[in-house]
Chain A
């Protein structure tokens, strides 16, 4: 019988030393804090009362579940992004199994699963929409760390906390079912220890990101003014992700209960809505469909997706699955896209149709057809007010470095006063050592002054370059 337990945290001093060197949010398109916020918002949008009740009662587990897919991506990296889909597909099979259903903690297990599944929905939907669009507009700056730094402070997530809660026994069976123990990626005997260790690193990284967000997010905002202004409500942004998550949950819930469920549950543009851009070369000019299960692009024939304008003319284009991971791990994902072969005409209406068929990696990914109608806008407004880059990081670094320099500079004098009663050894070596320490102190303090004057820009850019 599986249990949802509380994660045990062990002191790891070494982890602190490397905390800021590990802060890269590799593999998580949203930082974990934003994932947690989005699932919390999504719960309120669930229309099925029974599901909403389960998720609301166990919202802390849903929240932590949204971190789950990234647990193996930190420290010594046993997993990569490609494992997201594989593990989550197996997790879905498991929550529908008689063994899981018979467990006492099934509602908690379900809450954890839904949180975890929300993570991949959000990653794929974000990356295939606003994430890439921000790169188009904001000097290509947008990446996981920068988005996280920006979101956390901008949208008030600084105090959002998450408690670890794992269904260890259940998860062990999930990994067992897809052969992870055979591939030496996880040691079955050390499973709980391993998952706790990686989760701890995950917590440390996210807290470091919160501190960086507090100190330096205004710099990122000044570099990505459109993203800072629109991340919450723009197409594919935080609110849109919450809606997509709720729709995927409802579809999964129907399947778990043995009912027929739609494969495609959300789209950008929405049915009856407006595509964000008529420019077919822009990410916002693509039509993105969110699927409940991974779509296999190899199964998309030439007639699988058709786009027609209001005059009935077919607009040819390219249909595919957004490559979430540039390394090629995600050959099949949840974001199906159609790229029109020509710019859409502002003011015209269009209809996109997905023909009935089986397009998934797994048999369950079939659809009886899907259709959305939308119109094309004029050129979208990409203007955004410029944002000021503040002093927080500069002041922080100044205090840190100036005080450190002051300690070095003042140490010889403080020691000399203590030795007043003892004849000092005024050898050349002692004098050279004393002057060296003093010069070092002055130099460190001088760097602190430079950081104050430049508002810590060089340090922030170094962090952004490294990660």
Chain B
């Protein structure tokens, strides 16, 4: 039962969060060694967090897909 709310929506949220991860990584890449160190650290935390939360969203969707 591929329901929108419980499977598709978590997947969409997961994709959005992984796009945010990509945004953070690209920001870091673009800044290179430039930019303030604190900003680089924050960008790393941002990317890692968005990636993790995206993974959690996919995991919840997968849970509903498997359990039916």
A residues with a Cβ closer than 8 A to B are 9, 11-13, 15-16, 19, 158-161, 163, 203-204, 207, 210-211, 214, 396, 399-400, 402-407, 409-418, 420, 438
Contact = CB atoms under 8 A, between A and B. Distances in A.
Contact of B23 (A16, A214, A402, A414): A414
Q: Which of A159, A203, A214, A413 has the most CB of B within 10 A?
A: A413
Contacts of A407: 20, 46, 49-50, 53
Contacts of A406: 45-46, 48-50, 52
Contacts, number: 119
Given A204-B5, A410-B49, 5 more contacts: A12-B5, A403-B50, A406-B52, A413-B42, A417-B27
A9 B2 CA distance: 10
B53 to A, nearest CB: 4
Size class of the B contact interface (CB-based, 8 Å): 35 or more
Contact of A207 (B24, B39, B64): B64
Given A399-B56, A413-B43, A11 B5 contact: yes
A411 B5 contact: no
A403 B21 CA distance: 12
Nearest to B45: A410
Given A13-B9, A161-B68, A410-B45, A417 B53 contact: no
Interface string B34-61: 1110111111111111101100100010
Nearest to A204: B5
B53 A161 contact: no
A346 B68 CA distance: 48
Contact of B27 (A11, A13, A211, A418): A418
Contacts of A420: 30-31, 34-35
A341 to B, nearest CB: 48
A403 B9 CA distance: 19
B44 A410 contact: yes
A417 B49 contact: no
Q: Which of B1, B28, B36, B40 has the most CB of A within 10 A?
A: B1
A452 to B, nearest CB: 14
Contacts of A210: 64, 67
Contact of A410 (B9, B34, B46, B56): B46
11 contacts: A12-B4, A19-B6, A203-B3, A211-B64, A403-B53, A406-B45, A407-B20, A413-B43, A414-B24, A417-B28, A417-B39
A466 B4 CA distance: 27
Interface in B7-38: 9, 20, 23-24, 27-28, 30-31, 34-36, 38
B39 A413 contact: yes
Contacts of B49: 402-407, 409-410
Given A413-B39, A417-B28, A159 B45 contact: no
A403 B13 CA distance: 14
Given A417-B31, A417-B39, A399 B52 contact: yes
Contacts of B23: 414
Contacts of A160: 68
Contacts of B40: 413, 417
B27 A403 contact: no
Contacts of B34: 420
